[in-house]
Structures are given as structure tokens and as C-alpha cells.
Amino acid sequence: MHLKKRVLVTGGAGFLGSHLCERLLAQGCDVICLDNYFTGSKQNVAHLLDNPNFELMRHDVTFPLYVEVDEIYNLACPASPIHYQHDPVATTKTSVHGAINMLGLAKRLRAKIMQASTSEVYGDPSVHPQPESYWGNVNPIGFRSCYDEGKRCAETLFFDYRRQHNLRIKVARIFNTYGPRMHPNDGRVVSNFIIQALRGEPLTVYGQGQQTRSFCYVDDLVEAFLRLMDTPDDFTGPVNTGNPGEFTILELAKLVIEYTGSKSIIDYRPLPQDDPKQRRPDITLAKAKLGWEPKVALPEGLKKTIEYFDAFLRQA
């Protein structure tokens, strides 16, 4: 007899997953955190191990999984270009085979399932900001394709399982998110800049730094996940989850230098291939259906993230 809600978080030992596990436990859920530790680490969830409602499981989502749960958050997938391009075939397999297995699991259990999709499904967008109705401008054969097309295919699978098997699905299209427990070496801009500034090294700005991104603090994003999972069954998404505040990469670099009090200079480097020029979520749908919008502004979130990396670097 199970009174508590049993929740599976795949990729639970990663950056977003570890924060999600924390929040679910705080809500009194029984949490299975599943991870193959490709980019995640036991360290990210070490503080949860003593909680009797928390279970950590080493498993790769590309293989079938037989557990009993009520809800599934499917986050397993390397998220940063350096990591997902390390083994592109494994990345596509994780998105596609992983989605098939988790959807098969959800189908057997009649469980509700949420997919962590991405703004990358919009590719290098020709519509700005991007509403969910925009189909995207994605290169199918480039270096980013294993991630973008893998995530697009996962979305297709989610919607086909819904149409064919009447599954209760939710799809969140996540825009750039940052915060404590980001991987220190994943090459993402926020962690790169903060670590470089704290070490007094030059901040590596790619191109002229005029490309834009919108940065969402992790606590805001996790709140959106929980609200999305609780929406009525007829709401599936896809729904954009992100912070609509738009900054150029150069502006971000200057903010990080200011908040760390660093003497670092800026080092301009070549722009990577297929690097999107602009990205900002249109969160009209999230506001209407989830009653949600981000609360943590970039300065506040950056300061918390800087504190985390400062402590992290002192320990290392």
C-alpha cells in the first residue's frame, strides 16, 4: 500500500535533476533518482542519501527499466555542447531509446510522464522570441544535431504515445538555466565565466559577444516543472520554460566581472559552428497554463551561483 506519491527522476544526479529531487522530497514524495553518472555525480545528491524517501539508482535509460512509480520526470541527457558532442551517437540514443523506454514504462504503469525538452528544438530561430508554435530552424546533419534532433524525436515519441496509447504526457522546452551544481567543466557560458572570473583568468567571449541568451535561475525552473506535472491531463505542452530577460553574452561577462569583483579581462574567441544568434522564450503559454513566471532576476541568481562556485573552488 503506497500513500506517498512515487516519483522517478531520470538524470536525477545532474544539475537540474538534483534540485528537482530536493523539491520533490520536500513535498513528501518517494523519489527514485536514476542516473548513469555520465555528467551527473553522486556528490550532487549526497545530501539526500540519508532521507528514507530517497533512493539512488545507477542505470542507463537506453536500457529497459522495471520499477513502480506514479510520475516520471525524464531529464537524462547530457545538456552542454562539450558533453553531448563527446559521444554524439550515445546522445541520440539517450534521447530516443531513453524516451521509448521511459514511455514504455509510463504506458505499463499508466504513469504521468514529463520530458525535459529544450529551446534547441528551435535551432537558430528565424522567429523571435520563440512561441511554441514555431517549428524551428534546425540543421539535421551538424555537430549540434545529435542533441537537437534527438530531443525533437523524443517530442515526436511523446506525442505519438499520447495519440496511440492515450498517455498522460507533459513536454517542457527548457531555455538556458543556471545555478548551483552546474557542471564546472561543461563549457556553458555562466559556469565558464564565473570560474574564469573567480580564478582571475580572461573571460572567453565567443564571437563579438553580441549573441543573446535568456538565463533562468534553477529554482524558478523546478517550480515550472512541478506546476506542469500538476496541470490537467488535457494540457500536454510543449510549453516554454525560461526567463524572458534577454542579455548579450558580453553583458553577461561584464556582470560576472562586476559581481565577482574580478580583475579579469575579456578574451574574444571564434564563434562555434551553428551557434544561435538570439534566444528568448515567449512564456505567454506558461503564464496562462502554469500561472508561472520566473521570480529570480539575473543579478540575484548570479550572486547565488558565484557563492556556490567560490565555495566549490576553495574545496577543490
d(CA 148, CA 139): 9
Q: How far is the CB of 181 from ligand NAD (least distance, A)?
A: 8
DSSP E strand boundaries for the chain: 6-10, 30-35, 54-58, 71-74, 112-118, 169-174, 177-178, 203-206, 212-214, 216-217, 239-241, 246-248, 266-269
Catalytically annotated residue among 122, 147, 161, 217: 147
202 DSSP 8-state letter: P
211's contact among ligand NAD, ligand UDP, none, with CB below 5 to 8 A by partner kind, is: ligand UDP
Which of these segments, 49-57, 173-181, 266-274, 307-315, binds ligand NAD (CB under 6 A)? 173-181
Among the listed ranges 75-83, 137-145, 159-167, 256-264, the one in contact with ligand NAD (CB under 6 A) is 75-83
Q: How far is the CB of 47 from ligand UDP (least distance, A)?
A: 26
How far is Cα 143 from Cα 148, in angstroms, rounded to an integer? 10
Residue 184 found at the interface with ligand UDP (CB under 6 A) = no
Q: Which does 303 bind (CB under 5 to 8 A by kind): ligand NAD, ligand UDP, none?
A: none
Q: Which of 105, 197, 218, 290 touches ligand UDP by CB under 6 A?
A: 105
Cell 515519441 maps to which residue?
157
For the bound state, the minimum distance from the C-beta of residue 9 to ligand NAD, rounded and expressed in Å, comes to 10
CA distances from 289 to 5, 42, 102, 176, 231 (A): 23, 35, 25, 21, 8
If one asks whether residue 231 binds ligand UDP (CB under 6 A), the answer comes out as no
* Count of residues in contact with ligand UDP, rule CB under 6 A: 24
Chosen residue from 34, 116, 205, 298 binding ligand UDP by CB under 6 A: 205
Q: Are 174 and 163 in contact (CB under 8 A)?
A: no
Please give the single-letter amino acid code of residue 242: G
Give dist(CA 69, CA 27) in Å, integer.
16
If residue 302 lies in a helix (H) or strand (E), which one and from where to where? helix 298-315
Grid coordinates representing 208?
563579438
Separation of alpha carbons 25 and 32, rounded Å: 10
Q: Is 147 considered catalytic here? A: yes
280-299: contacts with ligand UDP (CB under 6 A): none
Report the distance separating Cα 133 and Cα 189, nearest Å. Answer: 28
DSSP 170: E
**If binding means CB under 6 A, how many residues of this protein chain bind ligand NAD?**
29
Q: Which helix (H) or strand (E) holds 35?
A: strand 30-35
187 vs 202, which CB is nearer to ligand NAD?
Answer: 187
Q: Quick one: what does residue 275 bind among ligand NAD, ligand UDP, none, with the CB cut-off 5 to 8 Å set by partner type?
A: ligand UDP
| Residue 189 near ligand UDP by CB under 6 A | yes
| Cα separation, 34 vs 36, whole angstroms | 7
Q: What's the closest the beta carbon of residue 263 comes to ligand NAD, in angstroms?
A: 29
Q: Of 35, 132, 149, 220, which one interacts with ligand NAD (CB under 6 A)?
A: 35
Q: Does 62 bind ligand UDP (CB under 6 A)?
A: no
Q: Which of 142, 146, 180, 112 is nearest to 275 (CA)?
A: 142
Footprint on this chain of ligand NAD (rule: CB under 6 A): 10-11, 13-17, 35-40, 60-62, 75-79, 94, 98, 116, 118, 174, 176-177, 183
The catalytic residues are 147
